Structure formats: structure tokens, C-alpha cells
Chain A
Amino acid sequence: MDFRLTEEQKMLVQSAEQFAKKDSPVTRFRQLRTSPPGWDKALWRKMGELGWLAIPFSQDIGGFGGSLLEVSLVAEQLGRSLVPEPFLASVVLAGMTLAEAGTKDQIEKFLTPMMEGKTSLALAYAEKESRFDPNEIALAAKVSGGDFVLDGEKVWVLNGHAADHVLVAARTSGGHSDKKGITLFLVDGSASGLTRTAVHGMDGQHTGLLKFKGVKVGKDRIVGKADEGLSLLEKALDRGAAIACAEGLGLIRECLQRTVEYLKVRVQFGTPIGSFQALQHRAADMFVETQLAHSMTILAALKGDDKDETERKRAVSAAKVQLAESGWFVTKQAIQLHGGIGCTDEQDVGLFFKRMHALNTLFGDKDWHLGRYSSLPGFEG
């Protein structure tokens, strides 16, 4: 048992930290949040050149051969300064799914340019009536000639408004809740019949509302096996959840650090407020929660790609629940301990609070994961 980082991993963390600090401080996010797409193509290109977008892909397809752990280490650093580029949506959700199940041709055409930062990707799964269940897919893909025609709607698609290619979970057979009959299609963002609306999020990031009206997709755009897309989708969402945990960990660490600094300099009653025990204990609890979140982020990163499906789901759901609790506690206390200034838009802790809330909602909220966790085999003891 060993939780130490290797020298390479340490260097990766250092350079990601430097990158986030220099190239994307929170001030940059502030500028970008006001209008879509909410992120910057030039910086995305730079991330590609620096190799950030190729981390988890095998070397034979031009990647760095890293694992989910390396992705997690980078995401944590990006989370510290709210880097808005679609790392999670493009590299983790769509990219890693393509790498796992895509054909050689698909990988060359769609994954390679993404790794270079020339394009970006997205994964569209959620629908108005699906809540967090990945099997609740109604968007229909009907056979027409040799191809498919897509009709329906996808909501809250991360980077869905800006992606060059969108991986879409569609129903090719069965009823809307059936586990079988889901197929993943790679659809061009510019496809005829696809209407995309950029939706401004509470956290200042943008997502896509996607309407499909007779969108034609070739069968060469199926990723993985037809009708058998659910397990791929679940894997993608578990990876997404694991990386959301890492991003959340990064931002709560930042919140803790900034709050502790503030407690040392803010003077009331003639003394730094950090000398008050009521506030010291709150800060200590924030520290405890941050450590627990760190432990579970490691667990999710190590098990989020596990071959054993039950083991993977158990670890990811547990981590997601812990991050929901720790993240909620730390970010709300960061506002509380900053006092009135913490409630203003000019103070960053409010931005962290909002992003944490968004991360808690994405890929299943706490209740959903408690439900999934408690229905896994072996739970009854």
C-alpha cells in the first residue's frame, strides 16, 4: 500500500498548478463567464500543445498512456482556479469513451484533433425526464436506409453548445427505461437538424440545450455496439464523477486556504478573528472534511476505471457522496467565515461555492448515489 506520487506525477501536478496560476487565474474565468462559449479556443489549443488533453490515452494513438489518476491530479489543479475549458466534457466524458470503444478510423478522425486542442467534444445523455438515470433515454434513433435519424432533446450538455462533435446516447430499441437498446452516436455539432442553445449556468459555465429534428447520422458514427451502449455510458459517467470529485477537491482546498488566510488578517474586537475558538473549530472541521474528500478522491481515481463493475460503482458513489458532503460544508463555511464580503460577486469564494454545487449535481447528486450504492450486490452483508 502506497499513496505517494511518483516523480513523474509530482512534476505533472507542479506544471498543472503553474499553468492554472499563470494562464488561467480566476480573473480569466470572470471575464469569460459573461458570454458563450465561456471558454477560450486559443487556450484550449495551448492545453493541447502542452499535452494536457492527451494524458489518459494510450501511446499508440498519440496519448501519454496515463490513467484516471493522472487525469484526476490535473483536474484538481484546474479546479483551484476554476479553469472553464471543457477538460471534463471533452477529455474525460467523450474522449475516454471514444478511446475505449471507438474504431481506429473514429479515433483518428475525432480523438486525435481533440488531443491536439484543435477540436473539442461533448457527451449528451441527460434528458428532461431522465433526472440522473443513465438508462432513461427517450431520444430516438430510427433506421432509415442504411443510416439513422435522430429525434429528441438533450439537456445540460457540458460543452454541448460548443463541441465540434457530440457523443449522443440515443434509443435504438426498447422502451424509454430499458437497459438494452441504447446506442452512442457521434454527431457533428454542425449537423443539419441539430439546434444548439447555449444555456448560462448558475456556476458561470455554459452548457448546451440540444434539439434533434431528423438529424441524419451514418452507422459508421456508432461508437461501441448498437443497443449495448448503456455500460459504456455508465463507465463514462463514473469517470466523469471521479473527475468531478477531483475538481471539487481542488476548489475546496483553495477555499480552505483562502479562508484560513482571511481569518488571520481580518481584525474585529481588536484581534484577528482567527483567534476566536468558534471560528478556529469551524476551520478545523473544514480541514477534516477536506482530508476526507482527498481520501475519497484518491479512491475514485484508482477505482473509477476498475474492470469490476460493482467495485467501480461502489467506490465512485461513495466518493461522490463524500464530496457532496465535504464540498457543501467547506464552501458554505468559506462564505460564512468571510462574512458579508463572502456573499458578494467580487469575492471568489462565492464562485467556488456555485461551482461546487454544480459538481454535486452533475453525474448524480448525493441522494441518487446513496440509492445506487445501496442497491449494489453485497450491500446487504
Chain B
Amino acid sequence: MDMSFTKEHEAFRREVREWIEKAMPPAMKQKAENGAHFEHHESMEWHKTLYKKGWVAPHWPKEHGGTGWDVTQRHIFNEELASAGAPSLSPFGLSMVAMVIMQFGTDEQKKRYLPKILSGEEVWCQGYSEPNAGSDLASLQLRAESDGDYYVLNGQKTWTTNGQYADWIFVLCRTNSSGKKQDGISFVLVDIKKTPGVEVRPFMNISGQTAFSETFFTNARVPKVNRVGPEHGGWTIAKALLGHERTGIAAVPVSARVIQNAKRIGRETKVGGKRLLDESTFRRKLAALEIRHRSLDMTNLRALADAQAGRAPGPESSILKIRGSEVLQEAYEFAMEAMGHNALGWFDDPPEALPASQQWIASTFNYYRAATIYGGSNEIQRNIISKMILGLPDGAKG
């Protein structure tokens, strides 16, 4: 066993770090330093910077614009981006629909969509969840009725992150209502801006940001050539997405930054002339959190080493989702606790009321309540572990 990175990988890390340091504009760095929320246009600006460098899609095959890096290099790259607090890129194009198109799409679809996903010219969002299809995704009801060369879409999607900024949405829709519910689903690409009958309504979540939208389809006509994969074959495609490398879901560097921030608050906050960090209760809580984070990190590295050795990710990645999202939430809970009275504030408060470095903690703390829900809720992940790994029987859901 060997826990260290090779010299080549360490050199690669330095190269990436130096480049990020130069590439991030000062205003972006300032926001990153304060953990502030990045607007969509800022994230796209960063997308384009990475695109110019050729680093926007390291996980893509080289022929489509990937970097040809190995799994560990990609891990290092993501770690460095997150450590620098760079804006995270929207995954819906780069990591989701692009992977589907590469695996299941026609050559025309690859030519039509991939270059613009890579360049950031077209922004994508995801149409999976519906008001009545959350964890039970296969019960989705967005109807797609056949009409010659078109599907006519009627129904609603929800939780469409970035829907208000997107040019395209990929949807799972129902092309057959009889038989097993998983067998009547198709995967279809919809041009949001140019298709009459598609309406996006953003709504505010508890973070105070309009991160999500609802998307309504009313007699929206979509050409059948926009279907990816066979008709009624959408469920297989949805599941195939889960087979991709998933060490990123542990959010290790994201939580690490929050813990560092909590330490900083501990150093800078004075209580009766003493530093908060010198209080033993605070110190021990911090230590406990850091250790939970280290366990997560080690478990993630084991998954990474497996991937590097060529083993496909199995249901074990559910562990990373469960504990990764829990630690992320705990880190924010601890940061809020560290803030004391400042935890009463909100991101629109003036700096004399709330230091800039603490301004966004409450909002993000609220935002990440979703971490244990999105991407397959932690309860669904536990179902996966108990069935696929432990082999416990189906049956009563009581």
C-alpha cells in the first residue's frame, strides 16, 4: 500500500495550482476568499477561461475535447479548483447530457451538441424530477405523444437548477403508459428558448437564491430526432449516468474549505479577550469534525485508487454520497455555531454588521440542506446499500 501521490502527480498539482492562481481574476478571488455566492454569468466566465486553456472537460475522451488525464490527475485538478474556491461549473451539460450523448447518441447528435457544451455556448439543465416523481423517479408523468416526426410534450418538471439560464433541457418523458413504468420512458432533448409551449419559472429556495426553476410543457412539439437512444429506452440511460466515476460526490475539498473557514472564525473571534479557538469545547468539536472529514477523505481516496486501478465504481459510491453530504452539512452547522450572534445575519447585511468573510455562510448553510436530498436522497442511497451490497430482501417498506 502506498498513500502518496507520485512525483509526476505532485508536479501536476503544482502546475494546476499555479495556473489557477494566475487565471482567476482578482474579483473572483475576493469572492472565493469570502465564500460568496457566484452568479451564473461568473460561473460561465470561468467555464470559458477553462475552455480556452483546454481544461474544461478533463473527463471527456480526448477526441471530443478531453485532456487525456488519468483518474488521479482529474481528482487533483478538481481538488485544486475547489481548494481555490473557483466557481463550480454546471454539471448538466459537461458531466451529464454530454456523457449520455457520447454513449448513446448518433454521430449527428454528437456533432450538433458536444462542441457547444464544451465551449459553454449552450447551457443545459436537467428535467428529471416532477412534483409527483422525486425519489420514485420512474413514476414520472411528463407525457410525450407521438405525432408524425414529433413528440408533443405536456406536463411539468421541477428542481430544474439553472433552468432560467439554460438554452436546452434534457428530459425523461413518458412515451408509453402501459406495462412496467420503467419501460415507457424516453430521453429527449428540448430547446427551451425556441420551442413554443415551454415555460421556465424560477423560484426562491431557503438560501435566498433562485437556484431552481419549475419548467412547464404545454403542447410543446419536439422533433423525434432529439431523442437519445431507443424509444422507451430512457431508464437505461438514466441509470448509466450513475456508472461514471463519482469520487467528486464526496465533496471533500468543499467541506475542507468550510472547516478552514470555521477555524479562521475561531482565530479571529474574541470572547472576553480570549480567542474562541482557545476554548476547549470549541477545539474538540472542531477536532471531531476534522476527523470525520479525514475518514471521508481516506474513503474517497480508496475509491479513487480503485478507479485508477481500473475498477468500475460500484454501489460503494453510495457511501461517499451519504457521508460526503452529511459532513458538508455538519461543516456548515459548525461554521454557523462559530459565528455566534453573527449567525443571525444574512448576505445582504452591511459589512459593519457582518464581516464579508461571514456574509454568505448562512445562505450556503441553508442551501446545503439539499445536499442530503439531491443526487438520490440519502435514504435512497441506504436502500441501494441494503439491497445491492448487503443483499437484504425486498418487501415491506414500513
Contacts and interface: CB of A to CB of B under 8 A. Distances in A.
Interface of A: 1-5, 69, 260, 263-264, 269, 271-272, 274-278, 280-281, 283-285, 287-288, 291-292, 295-296, 298-299, 302, 317-318, 321-322, 367, 370-371, 373-375, 379-381
Given A295-B298, A373-B287, A2 B392 contact: no
Contacts of B308: 1-2
Contacts of B370: none
Contacts of B284: 367, 370-371, 374
Given A275-B396, A318-B291, A370-B284, A302 B390 contact: no
Interface residues of B, number: 54
A254 to B, nearest CB: 15
Interface string B314-353: 0010010011000000000000000000000000000000
B394 interface: yes
Interface of A is mostly: helix
Contacts of A284: 381-383, 385-386, 390
Nearest to B282: A374
Contact of A274 (B283, B316, B393): B393
Given A287-B385, A291-B316, A321-B288, A264 B295 contact: no
B244 interface: no
A275 B395 contact: yes
A8 to B, nearest CB: 12
B260 A278 contact: no
30 contacts: A1-B2, A1-B72, A3-B1, A3-B301, A3-B305, A3-B306, A4-B1, A4-B309, A260-B392, A263-B392, A269-B396, A271-B393, A277-B383, A280-B382, A284-B383, A287-B319, A287-B389, A291-B316, A295-B295, A298-B298, A299-B298, A302-B1, A318-B290, A321-B288, A321-B291, A322-B294, A374-B287, A380-B266, A380-B267, A381-B267
A317 B264 CA distance: 23
Given A1-B301, A380-B277, A381-B263, A374 B286 contact: yes
B391 to A, nearest CB: 7
B247 to A, nearest CB: 12
Contact of B396 (A2, A276, A287, A292): A276
B296 interface: yes
A299 B295 CA distance: 9
Contact of B260 (A69, A277, A381): A381
B363 interface: no
Contact of A264 (B286, B299, B379, B392): B392
A1 B267 contact: no
B275 to A, nearest CB: 9
A285 B287 contact: no
Given A2-B2, A260-B392, 8 more contacts: A269-B396, A284-B386, A284-B390, A292-B323, A295-B295, A295-B299, A296-B295, A374-B283
A82 to B, nearest CB: 23
Interface of B is mostly: helix
Contacts of B316: 291
A291 B319 contact: yes
Contact of B302 (A3, A272, A280): A3
Contacts of B302: 3, 295, 298
Contacts of A381: 260, 263-264, 267
A65 to B, nearest CB: 16
9 closest Cβ pairs, A-B complex: A275-B395, A280-B386, A295-B298, A284-B382, A381-B263, A374-B287, A284-B385, A274-B392, A374-B283
Contacts of A278: 398
B392 A275 contact: yes
Contacts of B397: 277
Contacts of B299: 291-292, 295
B38 interface: no
A127 B154 CA distance: 76
Contacts of A379: 283, 287
